Each structure stands twice: as structure tokens, then as C-alpha cells.
Amino acid sequence: MRFHVPPSVRREATAAARWYDEHQSGVGDELLSIYVSIQRDPQGFPRHEQYAGRRDVRRCPLKRFPYNVVFQNLPGEIWVIAVGHDQRRPLYWRNRLP
């Protein structure tokens, strides 16, 4: 299965990880490790309840962080759409859907 993380999403994830690493060393890596779980079982994450479109958009809540990884599950590939804070700019990522 192909796994896509566009540059804009990489920047979001890196910024969040860097912020956490500044406060506690190594914690940012934990935030980024969620990609492995998504690749293993994309169907295991809930559909994004705020997204009303036809696409299979799911979210992966990060247990230790107030963030969600939003991704689109397509046949044979996964597109990570956003790594966003729970309380900021809901649905800002809609224009990123492939």
C-alpha cells in the first residue's frame, strides 16, 4: 500500500513535533510514530465525523496529544491530509483532498 504525506502535512507534523520536543525531549518522535499505525490498519480508525463528503476520510486521534491525523483511505493508497490541533481551524484541510 502506498503512503503519501504531502510537504504541507510534513511541515505541520514537524512543527508540532518540534514544539513538543522543546518541552520534553523525544516526545515529538512519538507524535510522528502514528504513521506506522495508520499504515497497518487504516480501517481501524473512525471516519471523520465532521466531514460530510463522499470520500473515505478518517481521523486518528493522538492519545497523548491534542492532535488528529486526518487521512483519506483509497484503494491501494493512503493520503495523509492534515496533522491538526483538535481545537483549531476545524475542516481547514478539505481543499487538500486528492
The total number of structural domains that make up the chain: 1
How far is residue 62 CA from its own chain's centroid?
9
Which CATH number do you get for residue 75?
A: 3.30.2310.20
Nearest to 31 by CA among 52, 6, 55, 12: 12
How far is residue 21 CA from its own chain's centroid?
18
The answer to whether residue 59 is domain-embedded is: yes
Q: Full-prediction pTM beyond 0.75?
A: yes
The answer to whether residue 74 is domain-embedded is: yes
- pLDDT, tens only, 24-50: 887 787 777 889 999 999 999 999 998
| Residue-averaged pLDDT of the chain | 89
The answer to whether residue 30 is domain-embedded is: yes
In this prediction, residue 43 carries a pLDDT of 94
The answer to whether residue 97 is domain-embedded is: no
